[in-house]
């Protein structure tokens, strides 16, 4: 490695291997232990090399998951018809969802107002984690009027697709009536789910979806990992 400090030589070697395509965008690098053994250095030296690669934007660490080659943020359109699976497949990514919570309970004041329900009316709650190519990109929390969609949770349990669950109740199309986007910082719980650092930048959307008669069918909040998702709006979506 000549006269160069060990960590810079390791950095340059890993960078060259990424440039040659040994590790593709989205790939996880070998573990710290594996890399330290390969280069014959201690972890402190190795971490300095990885830290410099991260500072240059070539790699990034996911909490509890490892170090990954940087991948361009996934374009996620927020049009009138927002469909999770369709959006990710159109971006060339493999979509998946992990269910965190399915529950029926009384609506709070904010949920009742958004869904045009009487205070305390029964609502279904669907919480989960959205993934692209196996990487977490968003946390979501959606609420639905239980009286209109009595078996919705059963359908979501078998297939976590809101579109399919609506279709099973006779609702074949729905559109987004409003969307609010706000910048937020990741809490400890959110950071753990999204494999981010506490305080990392999130983009929170608050939306109401309606049927063809403009009756609310879903009130949802989603927290997107800012470094992994680019929210986009078309000319007709503003």
The DSSP H or E segment spanning 113 is: helix 109-114
Average pLDDT on 56-66 reads 82
Q: What is the mean pLDDT of residues 109-121?
A: 96
CA–CA distance, 38 with 193 (Å, rounded to integer): 31
The reported pLDDT for the residue numbered 236 is 57
CA 36/CA 45 separation, integer angstroms: 8
Alpha-carbon dihedral sign for residues 31, 32, 35, 37: negative
Give the residue with greater pLDDT, 196 vs 215: 215
Let me know: does 180 contact 207? Beta carbons within 8 Å: yes
Question: What does the pLDDT look like over 19-56, one tens digit per residue?
Answer: 888 988 888 899 999 999 999 999 999 999 999 888 87
pLDDT for res 1: 44
| Mean pLDDT rounded to a whole number for the chain | 90
The pLDDT assigned to 2 comes to 47
Q: Which pLDDT score is estimated for 115?
A: 98
> What domains sit in the chain, N to C, each tagged with a CATH number?
6-69 (1.10.10.10), 74-237 (3.40.1410.10)
């Amino acid at each position: 490695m000549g006269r160069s400090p060990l960590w810079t030589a390791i950095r340059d070697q890993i960078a060259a291997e990424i440039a040659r395509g040994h590790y593709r965008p989205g790939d996880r690098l070998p573990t710290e232990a594996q890399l330290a053994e390969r280069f014959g250095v201690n972890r402190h030296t190795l971490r300095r090399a990885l830290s410099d690669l991260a500072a240059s934007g070539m790699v990034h660490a996911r909490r509890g998951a490892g170090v990954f080659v940087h991948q361009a943020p996934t374009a996620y359109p927020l049009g009138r018809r927002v469909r999770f699976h369709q959006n990710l497949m159109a971006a060339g990514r493999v979509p998946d969802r992990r269910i965190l919570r399915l529950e029926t309970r009384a609506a709070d004041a904010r949920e009742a107002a958004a869904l045009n329900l009487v205070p305390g009316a029964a609502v279904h709650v669907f919480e989960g984690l959205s993934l692209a190519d196996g990487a977490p990109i968003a946390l979501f929390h959606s609420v639905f009027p239980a009286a209109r969609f009595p078996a919705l949770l059963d359908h979501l349990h078998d297939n976590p697709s809101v579109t399919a669950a609506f279709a099973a109740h006779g609702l074949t199309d729905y559109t987004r009536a409003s969307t609010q986007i706000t910048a937020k910082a990741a809490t400890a719980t959110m950071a753990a789910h999204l494999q981010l650092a506490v305080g990392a930048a999130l983009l929170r959307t608050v939306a109401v979806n309606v049927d063809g008669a403009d009756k609310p069918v879903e009130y949802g909040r989603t927290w997107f990992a800012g470094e992994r998702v680019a929210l986009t709006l078309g000319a007709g979506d503003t």
